[in-house]
Amino acid sequence: HRLLLLNGPNLNLLGTREPEIYGTETLADVERITAEAAASRGFVVRAVQSNHEGVLLDAIHAAREDCDGIVINPAGLTHTSVVLRDALLGVALPVAEVHISDVQQREEFRRHSYVADVAIVHVIGEGVRGYATATERLIDIIAGQAE
Ligand code: DQA
Q: What is the CATH number of the domain that holds 28?
A: 3.40.50.9100
pLDDT at 145: 83
pTM of the model: 0.97
Does 12 contact ligand 1 (Cβ within 6 A)? no
Q: What is the distance between the alpha carbons of residues 110 and 135, in angstroms, rounded to a whole number?
A: 23
Does 99 contact ligand 1 (Cβ within 6 A)? yes
How close are the terminal C-alpha atoms of the chain, in Å? 14
Question: Residue 50: is its pLDDT beyond 90?
Answer: yes
Does residue 99 carry a catalytic annotation? yes
Q: What is the distance between the alpha carbons of residues 70 and 95, in angstroms, rounded to a whole number?
A: 5
pLDDT at 147: 65
- Which range marks the domain in which residue 129 is found? 2-146
What is the Cβ-side half-sphere exposure of residue 95, based on CA atoms within 13 angstroms? Answer: 26
Structural domains in the chain (count): 1
pLDDT at 101: 98
Question: Residue 19: is its pLDDT beyond 80?
Answer: yes
Q: Which 3 state secondary structure label does DSSP give 98?
A: strand
Question: Residue 78: is its pLDDT beyond 70?
Answer: yes
